[in-house]
Amino acid sequence: MTKWLETHLPKMVLAPSFIAVLVFVYGFIAWTAWVSLTRSRLLPKYEIEGFIQYERLFASPRWDTAINNLFIFGALFIIIAMVLGLLLAILLDQKIRTEGMIRTIYLYPMALSMIVTGTAWKWILNPGLGIQATVRSWGFENFSFDWLVNPDFAIYTIVLAAVWQSSGFVMALFLAGLRSVDEEIIKAAQVDGIPTWRIYSAIIIPSMGPIFMSAFIVLAHLAIKSFDLVIALTGGGPGYATDLPATYMYAMAFSRGDIGQAASSAMIMMLVVFTIVVPYLYSELRAKND
């Protein structure tokens, strides 16, 4: 009996987590996929009708805006957060005193809910109160910073807040990467009199490929899932100028009573994430076999 337990217990204790994830995630995704192929509106229906929901989705100007926003937001957010994160990591890598405290402060935005920190951001971005009003009160009467209420620019305020939230996190990832570079190589380069910036650009950073990859994956999936940010800052407005796919889905499911549209938009988001996650899993698994 004990022998049997010792061989089978490891599998038995793994089973609950395994089954929970399997049913909870894939079972429910399958339900969503099914419903996305029906004529469901206010209530779910289960007769498959084909791709009509997807046709409606791609004909919808609001979905069009959400997808455009996702590309603008995603690209800017990922690039800016990575560049800033890398610069901050290099700064903290200079043997700075009180590094532990600084690191914690840089990570605070990530540890706090955007719904809550959005309070301050709404004040900062409000033309009548925050940056615009402050700079004008210094005598620059023509200074203008009204992105939050300008439909053409509101999406950039989402980028701003997202970068604020995540660059400390990217910094922490890169800092770990910088520290894992072989000290001997760096010392040898210093002995040869190579300037510090060349050591970074030619030796350290090129050896951090995998870290760039994981930072990219994490930021990309954060961008696609972004929901709190938009709800906290603009609520999708002005109009639906700052809608992202997640808020589109939310609006369809809960205020428009259109389950079919909600399900089909969710499936499109799934597909996009899958195309990012699958190469990542593949490269991780290959790394394991090396």
Partner 1 sequence: MARAATSQRKVLNTALAWAVGFLIFFPILWTILTSFKTEAQAIASPPIFLNFDWTLENYAVVQERSNYMRFLWNSIIIAGGSTILGTIIAIPAAWSMAFVPSKRTKDILLWMLSTKMLPAVGVLYPIYLLFIKMGLLDSRAGLVIVLMLINLPIIVWMLYTYFREIPGEILEAARMDGATLKDEILYVLTPMAIPGIASTLLLNFILAWNEAFWTLNLTAANAAPLTAFIASYSSPEGLFYAKLSAASTMAIAPILILGWFSQKQLVRGLTFGAVK
CA dist., res. 158 & res. 217, Å (int): 19
Dihedral, CA of residue 27, residue 29, residue 30 and residue 33, to nearest 10: 170
CA dist., res. 86 & res. 78, Å (int): 12
Residue 111 touching partner 1 (CB under 8 A)? yes
CA dist., res. 261 & res. 57, Å (int): 6
Among 106, 145, 147, 240, binds partner 1 (CB under 8 A): 106
Nearest to 161 by CA among 69, 73, 236: 73
Residue 256 touching partner 1 (CB under 8 A)? no
CA dist., res. 161 & res. 222, Å (int): 13
Residue 203 touching partner 1 (CB under 8 A)? no
Residue 100 touching partner 1 (CB under 8 A)? yes
CA dist., res. 4 & res. 95, Å (int): 54
Residue 190 touching partner 1 (CB under 8 A)? yes
Among 121, 145, 147, 240, binds partner 1 (CB under 8 A): 121
Shortest Cβ 130–partner 1 spacing (Å): 8
CA dist., res. 82 & res. 74, Å (int): 12
Q: How many CB atoms lie within 10 A of CB 275?
A: 9
Restricting to residues 16-75, which ones interact with partner 1 according to CB under 8 A? 16-18, 20-21, 24-26, 28-29, 31-32, 35, 44
Residue 230 touching partner 1 (CB under 8 A)? no
Residue 96 touching partner 1 (CB under 8 A)? yes
Among 156, 164, 212, 216, binds partner 1 (CB under 8 A): 164
Among 37, 154, 172, 251, binds partner 1 (CB under 8 A): 172
Residue 118 touching partner 1 (CB under 8 A)? yes
Residue 85 touching partner 1 (CB under 8 A)? no
Residue 140 touching partner 1 (CB under 8 A)? no
Shortest Cβ 260–partner 1 spacing (Å): 10
Which part of the chain contacts partner 1 (CB under 8 A), choosing from 53-61, 62-70, 71-79, 220-228? 220-228
Choice between 79 and 281, CB closer to partner 1 = 281
Among 38, 117, 242, 261, binds partner 1 (CB under 8 A): 117
Dihedral, CA of residue 253, residue 258, residue 261 and residue 264, to nearest 10: 60
Q: How many residues make contact with partner 1 (CB under 8 A)?
A: 109
Quickly list DSSP for 125-162. Answer: H-TTTSHHHHHHHTT-TT----GGG-TTTHHHHHHHHH
